[in-house]
Chain A
Amino acid sequence: MSRAATLLLAVLAFWAVGPLYLLLKVSLSPPVEVMTAHPTLLPHGITLEHWGRLLETGQVLPPLVKSLLTAGLVAVAALLLAAPAAYSLARLRERWRYGILLGLFLFRMLPEVSIALPVAVVFLRWGLLDTVAGLGLAHLTLVLPVAAWVLTTAFLAIPREIEEAAALDGCSAWQTLTRVTLRLAVPGLTVAGLLAWLFSWEEFVLATYLTLGAKTMPLQVYYYLYQGNWFLTAAAATLMTAPVLLLTGFLQRHLQAISLAGAGR
């Protein structure tokens, strides 16, 4: 039984990791190994020419910068907006709290296309298309419910007695908040911030609606894909995947929040 389980897991693991290997391999393979009726499965020659060309085109740096700025903005803004709300939710009566959390859950289920369409129409008028600020504002709609959810859990885990003890020791309300509560919430804040960053970094649908020329990384990858250039696609895709793989590795324990947040469209 156990051997059957191991065999099965080995097959599934092969399926899970194989495509990632292929992407990396294509990005490093000489074209003769790939652009043929019979592509080789193992790497025979290794070349950096596709990576070199990706940098030479100069097409990848602006999207990289735009995506980095947007994701950074979204992470910071998400914490600023969601943390006070989550703190309040954690101090609210249970019935109210669950009602509001359920409401946030429903917000997360709305289709992006029904949000993106009017936002794109309005942002066109406001001159916010193609801007970091505009895209960041839109991304926050997807990120905030999740961030509030994660942070509420984090604040709930901080016992109220600790705050009461701080108050007894003569801390003002503000001091209690900054020196005790927020410090204890740092792990939760980190997770929420990283989740927000990841969401924005790989978001595709809203970016498609709100972009005319200044692409983000996902749009740049899609552009190469659409052109049918396997090598630039593979190199750019690998480039944008690296930080995500690292961060999700770090976030392993909190992955369920990602699952509730819904990824994979």
Chain B
Amino acid sequence: MKARILLGLAPLTLYLVAFTLVPVASTFVLSLSAPGDGITLEHFRRIAGHYQFGQAVVNTLGITAIGLSLELGLGLVAALALTSRPAGRKVFQVLLLVPLGVPTIVAAAMMRTVFGTVGYLNEILLRLGIIRTPVDWVGPRGLALVTVAVADAWKVTPLVLLILLAGLGTIPAELYEAARTDGASRWRQFAAITLPLLKPALTMALIVRGVDAFRIFALPLALAGRGLPVLSTYAYVEYLEYGNPHTAAASSVILLAMILIAVGTYLKLAGPEEVLR
């Protein structure tokens, strides 16, 4: 019996070792290897002095922070609205989940039509008289950052919504009934029942989405190009355009470290049992 279990696990394990662990390890080696056989920190020093790399770190963190706030905020509001049993609940749920069925690169294409200088958002705002001249949404760096975060939120808020809906579903209705009998206000019910019991779902959404946001690639590349480097696209440009695998590897290692820190913090806070439920 034991042997059969090991036999079943072997192909998957071997595959992941060969095609995931070995590559990640060799990225690490690549980031430290000097010409010849030596070990050097030169590649890290080089990217640290590179203006674009500093920007990439700041942009990655900025997009993550803005994106996560939007996604968790909108996701929570939508999940609560859906569970309050409004008219047309089923229809709304289907419509809200539509972006899930849209590939990321297609989302980028859509967002170009929305946020282009002669795009549809500008047209709507012009017609409403909110702006006088078209806005270049991906021009100034701060604005481009927000635009990419909003585009990302468009694509992934449905995921957060799903996680939160599942979390809300586990809260027993009797708790609310008891609270109502005790005369607790809606706000009090939210603060004393919903929020604490939703915490596992919220932290889950936070970590899954946080790690994805650190790795964001297609949206900044397609919407803002070189003007808005993030860690992934920085590594990509270093390797494929400047042909420097060492600095590309070094920046990938930094990204990996950021992700490991985030996941480690989460596991410490939530405990592994919570992750797997």
**Which residues in A have some Cβ–Cβ distance to B below 8 Å?**
1-3, 5-6, 8-10, 12-13, 15-20, 22-23, 26, 35-39, 41, 80-82, 84-85, 87-89, 91-92, 98, 100-102, 105-107, 109-121, 137-138, 140-141, 144-145, 148, 201-202, 204-205, 208-209, 218, 221-222, 225-226, 230, 233-234, 237-238, 240-241, 244-249, 252, 255-256, 258-260, 262-265
Contact = CB atoms under 8 A, between A and B. Distances in A.
Query: Which of A22, A110, A115, A240 counts the most B-chain CB atoms under 10 A from its CB?
Result: A110
Query: Which of A89, A121, A138 counts the most B-chain CB atoms under 10 A from its CB?
Result: A121
Interface stretch (B41-49, B139-147, B171-179, B215-223): B215-223
B114 A19 contact: yes
B208 A262 contact: yes
B78 A9 contact: yes
Nearest to B84: A5
Sorted from nearest, which 6 A-B pairs have the closest CB atoms?
Answer: A88-B8, A202-B103, A248-B101, A85-B12, A19-B110, A114-B252
Contact of B11 (A8, A85, A222): A85
Given A16-B96, A110-B256, A111-B256, A144 B12 contact: yes
Contacts of A36: 118
Interface in B78-106: 78, 80-82, 84-88, 92, 95-106
Given A117-B245, A244-B101, A256-B163, A144 B16 contact: yes
A252 B134 CA distance: 39
A263 B154 contact: no
Contacts, number: 297
Contacts of A238: 106
Given A84-B8, A114-B249, A148-B12, 11 more contacts: A12-B74, A18-B114, A39-B118, A41-B120, A84-B11, A85-B11, A114-B24, A141-B19, A205-B236, A248-B97, A265-B217
B156 A209 contact: no
Contacts of A8: 77-78, 81
B212 A265 contact: yes
A129 B95 CA distance: 39
A225 B138 CA distance: 15
A82 B12 contact: yes
B255 A114 contact: yes
A13 B95 contact: yes
A137 B123 contact: no
B112 A225 contact: yes
30 contacts: A6-B81, A6-B86, A23-B106, A82-B12, A84-B9, A84-B12, A85-B8, A85-B11, A101-B276, A105-B275, A111-B232, A111-B259, A114-B235, A115-B19, A119-B23, A121-B245, A144-B12, A145-B16, A221-B105, A221-B106, A221-B109, A225-B108, A225-B109, A225-B222, A237-B110, A256-B166, A260-B208, A264-B155, A264-B156, A265-B104
B20 interface: yes
A237 B96 contact: no
Given A111-B232, A225-B109, A259-B159, A102 B12 contact: no
Query: Which of A41, A100, A119, A264 counts the most B-chain CB atoms under 10 A from its CB?
Result: A264
Query: Which of A113, A140, A246 counts the most B-chain CB atoms under 10 A from its CB?
Result: A113
Contacts of B27: 114-115, 117-118
A256 B1 CA distance: 32
Nearest to B25: A118
Contacts of A37: 118, 134
A41 B162 contact: no
